[in-house]
A and B are shown apart, each in its own frame.
Chain A
Amino acid sequence: MPVLVEEPALLSKSRLRSDFVAHNVKLHLKHIDHRNAAEFSSDEEEDVQDEAEKEEKPEEAEMPDPSGLTDDDLKAALLRHGFKPGPIVASTRALYEKKLRRLLRSNGHNLLNAAEKVMYSASEEEEEEEEEENGEDDDAESGAEEEKQEAAEQSDEAQPGSSQVQAGSQTVAADASSSFTSPVFSITEMVEEMESRGSLSTSSNTVREFNGSNGQEHCSGSSRLDTPVVDNSSMKNHSVYCTPRTSPHKRGMKPPREPVIDTFKDLLPAETTPTGIYATRRRPIKGAAGRPVQYAYPDTPFSPTTLERRVVERRLVPIHIRFLFFLVMACILYLIYELV
């Protein structure tokens, strides 16, 4: 290497760095040699010494032996390492020497690490470039593989998911079907009848049948209690009964249901409607929109609770009698206790 005596400023950056590193490594090694000669590998020493011999630096003077330094030199060395010492007197000298040694050791280690990092980073960059070039091809392949894997994973996930969904739907369908079976049985019947008849009127008919069957209960119940009402309106019933009978929509009505439906039809208006749809008049809201308040609703059916209560009350003793009986008994007992 021709570079024997050169200004540090003229050296290239990498050369400076390597030289500095080498120098410090060399210094470090020299310092360490004092203590542990066997610790360092021979390779480093050889490489370092070749470069170190070519350049001389003033820093060599302070080196390995702080105790050989003068007070001023010791102070300078400490300052160079970033530590500001106090007066170096007899009592403090030993301490500062120890401090300097510690600093040298730590600095040497830091520089070594930094140098290694620098060297490794340079090599890493080269390796990275190569890896990138190779990696592009690999990436394409790996990307395809990843996509396949992802697709496979997704499909795998989807399959159980879809199976779950299917299972869920099946269960839902099963539930729905089961739920629908019982109450909709009548609806399906009605639908079939609709289809067979093939007109809206039939649907109304079936609806009325349905309602008729529901109304049968309370009609029968009401018939017991409200027989007078029924008798009075029998003429009305007949009239009501006759008109539906004559209507063409009345095909589905069965004869036994006629009396029951008659009472039920008390609620229905006497006039027939073209569609055959009958709707009960809704009870007007009391006092709303200036409508006349109707306090009495003679045709309203009684609820089952009221009917039961009336039945029970007929069997029990009335309240007035009970009260009188109580008073009588109280008086009797009072008299008895007074006399005795």
Chain B
Amino acid sequence: MSSTSQKHRDFVAEPMGEKTVMALAGIGEVLGKRLEEKGFDKAYVVLGQFLVLKKDEELFRDWLKDSCMANSKQQKDCFCCLKEWCDAFL
């Protein structure tokens, strides 16, 4: 549990509903803004992208890097967060 952040735990604890993209672990204000400009304004849209890429880690991380210039740690956090949410609720 110590390896995951509080944000991660909060996101994974319940269905995401209408949560903003900034609720995702690893996605802060700056990255969130960039994603919103691209059209990914809600967490479930990012989830959609994640699922379209068939939950592939490499592809999703590349996509995050390309779309919002997330660094390695941010990519990893976001991927893990979404993956765990899918394991729990999907």
Question: Which A residues are closer than 8 A to B by beta carbons?
Answer: 85-87, 89, 91-92, 94-96, 98-99
Q: Which residue of A92, A94, A98 is within 8 Å of B52 (Cβ)?
A: A92
Q: Which residue of A85, A87, A89, A95 is within 8 Å of B63 (Cβ)?
A: A95
The chain B residue with its CB closest to the CB of A96 is B59
Q: Is the interface of A mostly helix, strand, loop or mixed?
A: helix
Establish whether residues B53 and A98, one from each chain, have CB atoms under 8 Å apart when the complex forms: no
Contact with A along B28-52 (1 / 0, CB 8 A): 0000000000000000000001001
Establish whether residues B62 and A98, one from each chain, have CB atoms under 8 Å apart when the complex forms: yes
- Is the CB of B14 closer than 8 A to any CB of chain A? no
Q: Which residue of B52, B59, B62, B66 is within 8 Å of A87 (Cβ)?
A: B52
Residues of A within 8 A of B59 (CB): 92, 95-96, 99
Q: How far is the CA of A87 from the CA of B59 in the complex (A)?
A: 13
Residues of A within 8 A of B73 (CB): none
Q: Which residue of B52, B54, B58, B62 is within 8 Å of A91 (Cβ)?
A: B52
Establish whether residues A91 and B66, one from each chain, have CB atoms under 8 Å apart when the complex forms: no
Closest beta carbon of chain B to A45's beta carbon, Å: 33
Contact with A along B56-68 (1 / 0, CB 8 A): 1011001100100
Q: Which residue of A86, A94, A98 is within 8 Å of B54 (Cβ)?
A: A86
Establish whether residues B53 and A92, one from each chain, have CB atoms under 8 Å apart when the complex forms: yes
Establish whether residues A86 and B66, one from each chain, have CB atoms under 8 Å apart when the complex forms: no
The chain A residue with its CB closest to the CB of B63 is A95
Establish whether residues B53 and A94, one from each chain, have CB atoms under 8 Å apart when the complex forms: no
Residues of B within 8 A of A92 (CB): 49, 52-53, 59, 63
Establish whether residues B49 and A94, one from each chain, have CB atoms under 8 Å apart when the complex forms: no
Closest beta carbon of chain A to B82's beta carbon, Å: 15
Establish whether residues B62 and A86, one from each chain, have CB atoms under 8 Å apart when the complex forms: no
Residues of A within 8 A of B56 (CB): 86
A-B contact pairs, 15 of them (CB 8 A): A85-B54, A86-B52, A86-B53, A86-B54, A86-B56, A87-B52, A89-B52, A91-B49, A91-B52, A92-B52, A94-B66, A95-B53, A95-B59, A98-B62, A99-B59
Establish whether residues A95 and B62, one from each chain, have CB atoms under 8 Å apart when the complex forms: yes
Closest beta carbon of chain B to A221's beta carbon, Å: 90
List the 10 closest pairs (A to B, CB-CB), nearest first. Answer: A86-B54, A95-B59, A95-B63, A95-B62, A86-B52, A86-B53, A92-B52, A87-B52, A91-B49, A92-B53
Q: How far is the CA of A98 from the CA of B62 in the complex (A)?
A: 9
Residues of A within 8 A of B63 (CB): 91-92, 95
Closest beta carbon of chain B to A96's beta carbon, Å: 8
The chain A residue with its CB closest to the CB of B39 is A91
The chain B residue with its CB closest to the CB of A88 is B52
